[in-house]
Structure 1
Amino acid sequence: MTLRAVVRGVGHYLPERIVPNAEFEKSLDTTDEWIRTRSGIERRHFAAEGQTTSDMAVIAAQKALAAAGFEPNDIDAVIVATSTPDLTFPSVATMVQAKLGMTRGYGFDVQAVCAGFVFALANANGQILSGMAKRVLVIGAETFSRIMDWEDRATCVLFGDGAGALVLEAEESTGTTSDRGILSSDLNSDGSYREMLYVDGGVSTTGTSGKLRMQGNALFRQAVEKLTSTASAALDKAGLTDDDVDWIVPHQANIRIIQGTVKKLRIPMERVVVTLQDHGNTSAASIPLALSVGVERGQIKQGDLLVTEAIGGGLAWGSVVLRW
């Protein structure tokens, strides 16, 4: 028998404030059409004043736990993927533990920017396969609105806030590709690409949180190539091909990146879960958000084979193949 990390429940949260593209026309040299044409984004959500990353993470976690039928103390570990924590330390994960009322287990954060949830998911899988944990709550949560340069029309219109969560549980399986759960993962990073996407502040440099900076055209070219290669690598590791895939659930950054990637993977857009038009780029929250919305829509069903893939600052990129 083979141990697998199987999804038991998923949930998400979006802040109440919805910001349509037209709102940016008041302060920037931009239009709704310009934003939609270049990104596919139509609106996004921004956190309320005083609303933190951990606040949103907790609501998404509560929904995932309810869907799984678990109580907080049924969970052994909490892993939060975020680049916008409440504080420098402690981790958002420990704050989530406290707010959920968890009195056992352990929690820590993973920081791989937009690829953070894929890295967290692979890490949670490792925790389960090693026997460290039986049930892991994996969360992606971001308040990117707090690190935007509101005068940079190329970046500030792209990002939004939100959170998504899922619960993984160990399950004995047959060891075949028909098993439910995580079947493979592929993680990569290359620090030589740092200038393409970074925040110009930090504790040991400026002592401030800084603002997001991005070289959009250069990043676009790297994204399509690297997302295609990591998805193919993860499928190869699982002993599967693109023909086996029911759904691609990509990082929701830019519709042109998504279209370019799935074209290279020879997968039609009809088999891609797309949510960026409503949420913008929510960084580490985008994949769990899309998973939760995909389930709500009735797209993702038990037994479906999914590929999640993402790229973020670092550059860091990776993918996970799982059967729902």
Structure 2
Amino acid sequence: MIGTPLFHRPADVRVGITAVGAALPEQQLTTVDLQESVSRASGFALPRNLFSTMTGIERRRLAADDEYASTLAVRAARQALAAAELDPLDIDLLLFASASRDMVEPATAHIVQAELGTRAHALDLTNACNSFLNGIDAARSFILAGRARRVLVVTGETPTRAMRWQLESLARARAAFAGYTFGDAGAAVVVEAVPTGGILDIDTETHSEHWAVGGILGGGSRHPRGDEHTYFQGDGRALRGVFEKIGADILDRVRSRTGLEWADYTRVLVHQVTLPYLERFIEVTGVPKEKLEITVTELGNLASATLGVQLARVHAELRTGDRVLFVGLGGGVSLMTMVWEKA
């Protein structure tokens, strides 16, 4: 458990990811069925195959009524702990790093901890779709500071709860459209000291002047009540334009600082909003498509769980010394990269 005195930390300590878990709800919803449901509820027909054509998403997973952000986080966490052969009491810090949460207060981390049986210091960390990557960075910082030996970082994303199922007009559809990209999932990683490799490089870039481009505005002091503010709303095209304008510089910095080229990475894991957006990322950056783990077509936009789910899918194929580049994009807006080498 975190506390004083600080843990002893060797000066040359390396910190890395040692175990991974992911959780997907069983319920599936195709994009065709989603559009038909929205059309029926709205009382007017949307252009044929609009959602499918614009997003490239075929289906996504939906949390059941009795499944919450914490539910998905707990399932993923149990997988990660089992993979690491750890007892829940071996965890010093539990970070629930997610855009979704069970409630405004208390921190969802406490709900996750109560289910897992850990006794760690527990807190929430949130930064839209970069939450999970920020959580891994924070975990590394705690360990390097001697404040924890072993950290469990979890996310549980249920953004489909913010979909607007009834539209009054096509204008409303445009404002709500980004919400129809979402899917639900959970992910978890164990972060601790490693003998080799580990997290080699982290970079962030934040452009907060664009915070109003999109989001879920309810639940805080600006809009504490009212269903209208519980739906995701925003301008997806404007958000894409912002990322295209500012996104390449951070990758150039990583290349310059580390000396690593695309060929040096076994995998490149990228936050995925829509298939056209991902294809544009490939075009702009030149990343080889075969290095990506494409999840958006079958799972949709998983918010901050995207990178964790991708990592869980490729983790078994990675060998000691393999490098992975994580590229995160989040509303607010922020960009984030992490270079990780498997120990």
So what's the TM-score if we normalise by structure 2?
A: 0.85
Are residue 18 (structure 1) and residue 34 (structure 2) matched?
A: no
CA distance in 1, matches of 2:109, 2:24: 19
- Write out aligned runs for 1:77-226 (5 A): 77-103=93-119, 105-150=120-165, 151=167, 152=173, 154-173=177-196, 180-208=197-225, 210-226=230-246
Distance 1:127 1:236, change over 3 A: farther
Q: Structure 1's 181 and 148: CA in aligned 2 closer, same or farther, altered over 3 A? A: same
- Cα distance in 2 for partners of 1:304, 1:134 equals 24
| Alignment partner, residue 92 of structure 2 | 76
1:64: Cα distance to partner? 0.8
Provide the TM-score with structure 1 as the length reference.
Answer: 0.90
Is 1:277 paired with 2:297?
Answer: yes
The letter for the 2-side match of 1:84 is S
* Structure 1 Cα separation of the partners of residues 153 and 54 of structure 2: 31
- Secondary structure of residue in 2 paired with 1:155: helix
One-letter identity of the residue aligned with 2:266:
D
- CA drift of 1:19 comes to 0.6
Alignment gaps of 5+ in structure 2: 1-10, 40-44, 168-172
> Following the alignment from structure 1 to structure 2, what is the Cα–Cα distance between the partners of residues 304 and 253?
26
Alignment match, 1:229: 249
**Displacement after TM superposition at 1:172 (Å):** 4.1
- SS of match in other structure, 1:59: helix
Structure 1: state its 5+ residue gaps: 174-179
Letter paired with 2:218: G
Contact 1:242–1:265 (CA under 8 A) maintained in structure 2 = no
Q: Which one has a bigger Cα radius of gyration?
A: 2
Please give the alpha-carbon distance, in whole angstroms, between the structure 2 residues aligned to 1:243 and 1:304. 11
The answer to whether the 8 A contact 1:230-1:309 is kept is no
| Shift of residue 207, structure 1, vs aligned partner | 1.1
Change (3 A) 1:13 1:93: same
Corresponding position of 1:60: 76
Distance change >3 Å, CA 32–CA 119, structure 1 → 2: farther
CA distance in 1, matches of 2:269, 2:47: 28
Two-structure CA RMSD over aligned residues (Å): 2.0
1:242-264 alpha-carbon deviations (Å, 9 max, x no partner):
33222110112122222222333
Whole-angstrom CA distance in 1 between matches of 2:288 and 2:52: 21
Distance 1:240 1:192 in 2: 31
Moved over 6 A (4+): none
The structural deviation recorded for 1:31 is 7.2
Aligned to 2:269: 249
| Equivalent of 1:50 in 44, 58, 66 | 66
CA deviation after TM superposition for structure 1 residue 55, in Å: 1.1
Q: Matched residue of 1:107: which SS?
A: strand
Check the 8 A contact 1:41/1:158 in 2, yes or no. yes
CA distance in 2, matches of 1:37, 1:305: 34
User: Residues 157 and 186 from structure 1, CA distance in 2 versus in 1: closer, same or farther, beyond 3 angstroms?
Assistant: same
Q: Which moved more, 1:225-234 or 1:58-67?
A: 225-234
* SS of aligned partner of 2:204: strand
* Aligned CA distance change for structure 1 residues 238 and 122 (closer, same or farther; 3 Å): farther
1:308 aligns with 2:308: no
AA in 2 matched with 1:25: Q
